[in-house]
Amino acid sequence: MSDTSNPFGSIKASKVVLPAIIGLGVVSIIFYREFFGSGKEFDTAVFGEIRFSLVSVFWMFVALLCMIGRDFGYMIRIRVLSDRQLSWRQAFRVIMLWEFTSAITPSSIGGTSIAMVYVHKEGVSVGRSSAIVMMTSLLDELYFVIMFPVLVLLVGSGRLFAIPDSPGWTHGIMIIALIGYCIKFIWVLALSYGLFLNPRGLSKLIYRLFHLPFLRRWRRGAGKAALDIVAASEEMKSRKSTFWLKAFFSTFLSWTSRYWVVNFILLAFFAAQEHFEHFLIFARQLVMWIALLISPTPGGSGVAEFMFDIFLGDFIPVAGLTIAMAFLWRLISYYPYLIIGAFVVPKWINDKFTPKH
């Protein structure tokens, strides 16, 4: 992609509406299965079990604050990585564009693939934009590589992978999580080696790998990534430890805030539980994230709601309400980016791609 090409040129309104349709469709199917499946009669008494109070309002407010913390952390990070070349307003635009793109593309693609364009169009050079995006990728994966084993030690692998309501999933989930973790760990090692020790060596290796017949279709993108690694290396080698501490702290703030949204939503309605296993809920979400990375749907729509039902259903004491909590979670953590994007994207395209006379 050139530095002047419009990343939204091929995006149609259907791509914005489609994730919402898929998500709502899956919610409807699971809702029907829970309340009407196998000859069940709809029982309104289930919803009467929910206790909504001032405590609920407080914890829902905290959940919203976590969403703000998620994006605020990203804004801090991109300002740190750009040496504050981006203002707070520019950082907000870039993050919202990035989140919007992630929301309308499959999770396996995400917004990272065109994020360099967003950064560059805010006045950062092409090489430096590539370096910033590469550094965000390294920091995001490093967070997972560090936090996952820590949480496994805290909660125990037996409890983490045991799904009481879906015991058949346990073994498969464990295998997926281990494979996903190994891939991320290898990627962090390879990227660190390339960025800090031998960028040209890693670049040549990528070129050779993607000339193999079964990888050739991705050769062009791999070639760009190889060039980005070399450019990013020059940016990173001169950085001091304080720079990396700030960058990782903002990454920690963003991802931890993202995961704790679910914890506070559940607290809002089920705070009366005697034991609320926050770290186990947190750890389960990391496993969910691995599963969502292979989702073929835009923004993980439908798959996210289904995974919520599987992974977190045993933390909801009222039978049949899991899907309602899943919908509320997505309503707070996903759908706002579709709405914000509808306002930010048109103005940004007009400002950056419309010729000025």
Q: How far apart are CA 266 and CA 217, in angstroms?
A: 44
Contacts of 344 by beta carbon, 8 Å cutoff, 6+ apart: 93, 96, 97, 100
Contacts of 226 by beta carbon, 8 Å cutoff, 6+ apart: 202, 203, 204, 206, 207
DSSP helix/strand/coil, 106: strand
Q: In the structure encoding, which two tokens stand for residue 168, read together?
A: 């058949």
Contacts of 294 by beta carbon, 8 Å cutoff, 6+ apart: 107, 108
DSSP helix/strand/coil, 298: strand
Distances (CA, A) of 82 to 95, 199, 235: 13, 21, 10
Under 8 Å between Cβ of 287 and 265: no
Q: How far apart are CA 180 and CA 285, in angstroms?
A: 14
Q: How far apart are CA 194 and CA 247, in angstroms?
A: 19
For 105-116, the pLDDT digits (tens) are: 776 555 566 787
DSSP helix/strand/coil, 316: coil
pLDDT at residue number 150: 94
Strand ranges for 263-347 from DSSP E: none
pLDDT at residue number 2: 44
Q: How far apart are CA 133 and CA 231, in angstroms?
A: 11
Q: How far apart are CA 284 and CA 287, in angstroms?
A: 5
Q: How far apart are CA 196 and CA 84, in angstroms?
A: 23
Cβ count within 10 A of residue 252? 17
In the chain, which residues have pLDDT < 50? 1-4
pLDDT at residue number 239: 79
For 212-232, the pLDDT digits (tens) are: 665 566 667 666 667 767 767
Q: Where are the domains of the chain?
A: 13-350
- Locus of tokens 């909590």: 325
pLDDT at residue number 81: 92
CA atoms within 13 Å, Cβ hemisphere of 336 = 11
pLDDT at residue number 259: 93
Q: How far apart are CA 75 and CA 203, in angstroms?
A: 29
Under 8 Å between Cβ of 91 and 75: yes
Under 8 Å between Cβ of 170 and 157: no
